[in-house]
Structure 1
């Protein structure tokens, strides 16, 4: 059964058709990679699912609810989380305070002073941080963290809403190969444990082939291929349009974590 159903999605900017009748579905517990060359329509498609852009036509149904016309915050409250290409956290707040802010917002208590914010759902916040291996750094300001750790905090913040669907915009951008592998291994583990569906855009093909269950490929606003990574890998249209003549996919990297996951996730 599909959690997300996108049908005949369309979006134009002036006379340019950025997305042209794109359709795909996503099941609970599945990681779906959305890839394509620059200008393919990936970001436009991604941002329409999130509500940042309104589609000109088609349908985006999440868990039976039509998302077109809803604001990003309304979509978030339905159970759709998001991470960004450039990690978005409050750098002046501590790691745990970033998670607590999301829990406050989730419970619609952002402006309620009936209880000290520093104490609000502290145990739940610590549990979320433990899942991403950041509990021991809970009291550190986000501004002093290494970038890979900031991305872990962002993942904990996204999971604080207990999303059924997680949208990840180039989750490994700016990260070293080992950090990319560790973050995506952690994401895959959380997806399996919670049954969360993930739609992610990504330029690093090693990440796509190592962790995506399926992938869809866009070019000039149209869907040109979809299927399991190794099926799409040899697709002639993908080779021609996405990589150009004579180019091939990067070789997938070894996905063995640099340290046991048991040490990272409580």
Structure 2
């Protein structure tokens, strides 16, 4: 059964159709990769699901609710978490305080000054950090962490509202191959443990083919292919869009700049 169903989604800027009538579904417990060459409409699609952009046409049904027309904060409260291409944490706060701030927000108390953040659900924050392998660094300032560890903290923050769906915008951007694989393996583990859905965009094709359960491919605003990684790898239209002709994902090294 689908957790999210996107139907005939479209968005234009001036006379240009950035997203042109795409439809797809996402199930609980599934990692769905959204890929395509530059200008394909990935970011526009992603931002419509998150509420940062308002769709011109179409529907996004999530767990029985219509997301089109809702603000990002409203969508977040329905159980949709998000991580960003550039990790967003408070560098001046400790690791655990960053997660506590997210828990305060989830409880609707972010702007209530009657209670110190340091006293709010520390044990729950530590449990979230344990899930991402960062509990041992809970009292260190985020400013001194390695970038891969910052991304783990961001993942713990995203889990603070117990999301049913996690949106990950290029989660491994700026990371070394070992860090990329560790972060996505951790994400896969959380998906299984929490029966959570993940929709992610990604430039690193090694990550996409290793961890995605299913993939959708956009080109010039339209959905051109959908299927499991092995099906997408051999899809002639996908090969044409990425490489022209005569090459495959097996034979070609896909650089970050080319995707």
In the alignment, which residue of structure 1 is the partner of 2:208? 208
2:30 is equivalent to residue 30 of structure 1: yes
Within 2, Cα distance between the matches of 1:239 and 1:48?
Answer: 27
Equivalence map 1:86-125=2 (5 Å): 86-125=86-125
Within 2, Cα distance between the matches of 1:59 and 1:190?
Answer: 28
Shift in Å at residue 89 of structure 1? 0.7
TM-score of the pair, normalised by structure 2 = 0.95
Shift in Å at residue 250 of structure 1? 5.3
Within 1, Cα distance between the matches of 2:112 and 2:32?
Answer: 38
SS of residue paired to 2:217: strand
Within 2, Cα distance between the matches of 1:23 and 1:32?
Answer: 13
2:56 is equivalent to residue 56 of structure 1: yes
Within 2, Cα distance between the matches of 1:30 and 1:116?
Answer: 37
Equivalence map 1:36-47=2 (5 Å): 36-47=36-47
What RMSD in Å do the two structures reach over aligned CA positions?
A: 1.4
Q: What do the CA deviations read for 1:89-113 (whole angstroms, capped 9, x no partner)?
A: 1111110011000100111111223
SS of residue paired to 1:43: helix
2:186 is equivalent to residue 165 of structure 1: no
Q: What do the CA deviations read for 1:161-199 (whole angstroms, capped 9, x no partner)?
A: 100000000000000000000000000000000000000
Contact 1:205 / 1:250 at 8 angstroms: preserved in 2? no
SS of residue paired to 1:225: strand
In the alignment, which residue of structure 1 is the partner of 2:221? 221
SS of residue paired to 2:2: coil
Within 2, Cα distance between the matches of 1:218 and 1:185?
Answer: 25
In the alignment, which residue of structure 2 is the partner of 1:17? 17
Equivalenced residues, count: 253
Within 2, Cα distance between the matches of 1:251 and 1:31?
Answer: 25
In the alignment, which residue of structure 2 is the partner of 1:264? none
Contact 2:234 / 2:248 at 8 angstroms: preserved in 1? no
Unpaired runs of at least 5, structure 1: 253-266
Shift in Å at residue 251 of structure 1? 7.4
In the alignment, which residue of structure 2 is the partner of 1:262? none
TM-score of the pair, normalised by structure 1 = 0.93
Within 1, Cα distance between the matches of 2:15 and 2:93?
Answer: 44
SS of residue paired to 1:3: strand
SS of residue paired to 1:181: helix
